[in-house]
Amino acid sequence: MRGQIFALLCGLVFMLLQTTIFPRFLPPEMRPNLLLILVIYLGLSESFLRAAFLTLLLGALQDVFCGSTFGLYVAVQLAVFLLIRLVSDRLNLESRRLLLGLITAGTILQTVLIGFLLTTFAEAGPVLWILLPALPLQILSNLLSGWLLLLFLLMLQPLLGTRHGMAGLPYQSKHHGA
C-alpha cells in the first residue's frame, strides 16, 4: 500500500512539474515526460492490477490537467503499460541500460500513438509531422530524466525499506505476473 501511495504522490508531483514549472523554463521539445517514465517503472515493478489502476488514474489526471482530447492520455499510457508488461517477462529487469532503453522505446511509442490517435479521432491535421521532428530531443530529455530519477531512487531505497541494488523492481519477486 505504501508503494502505491508513493507512486501516486510521485505522479502528482510529476504532473505539477510538467504543467507548471517545465513550460516556464524549457522549450516544448526539451520537456521530459516524467509520467511516462513512472508508467514504465510501474509496469516493471508493481503487480498487474495495481499498476494498471495507477496507470489509468495517472492518464486520466493527465487528460484533465493538460490534455485537449479527453481519453487520449488514458489510452496512450495504458498501451505503453501493456506493452511494457508484455515484454517484461522476456527481459533482464535488473539492467539499468534496459530501463533506459525501455524509456526510449516508450517515448517513441507514445509519440506515434499520440500522433495516430489525434489524426484519426480529433482531426488535428498532420500532427505526426509536427511531433516527429521533436522526437530526438524528447528522447534525450526523457533519458536524462530517467537516469536522474534512477539515481534518486537508488539513494531513496534505504529510506523506504526496500532492497539495495537496481532501482525498483523491489516488488518483482513477490508480485510480478500476478
CATH number of the domain within which 98 lies? 1.10.1760
Task: Give the pLDDT band of residue 82 (cuts 50, 70, 90).
Answer: very high
Mean pLDDT of 110-128: 76
Task: State the pLDDT at residue 92.
Answer: 73
Range of the domain at 70: 2-169
C-alpha dihedral (44, 47, 53, 58), degrees to nearest 10: -30
Q: What is the mean pLDDT of residues 34-50?
A: 89
Between residues 166 and 79, the one the model is more confident about: 79
Looking at every residue in the chain, the average pLDDT score rounds to: 80
**C-alpha–C-alpha distance, residues 3 and 7, integer Å:** 6
Do the domain assignments include residue 176? no
Centre a 10 Å sphere on the Cβ of residue 88 and count the other Cβ atoms it contains.
Answer: 19
Q: How many CB atoms lie within 10 A of CB 76?
A: 25
C-alpha cell at position 134: 521533436
Asked if residue 160 has pLDDT above 80, the reply is: no
Whether 14 maps to a domain, the answer reads: yes
pLDDT higher than threshold 90 for residue 81: yes
| Per-residue model confidence as pLDDT tens digits over 46-80 | 889 999 999 999 999 888 887 677 888 999 999 99
What's the mean pLDDT in 97-111?
A: 88
Whether residue 175 lies inside any domain: the answer is no
The three cell numbers locating residue 153: 531512487
In one-letter notation, the amino acid at residue 36 is L
Q: Given a cut of 70, is residue 165 above it in pLDDT?
A: no
Q: Is the pLDDT at 124 greater than 70, yes or no?
A: no
DSSP 1: -
The better pLDDT of the pair 159, 30 is held by 30
Domain count across the chain: 1
Q: Within 32-167, where are the H helices?
A: 34-45, 48-66, 72-88, 96-121, 127-131, 135-160
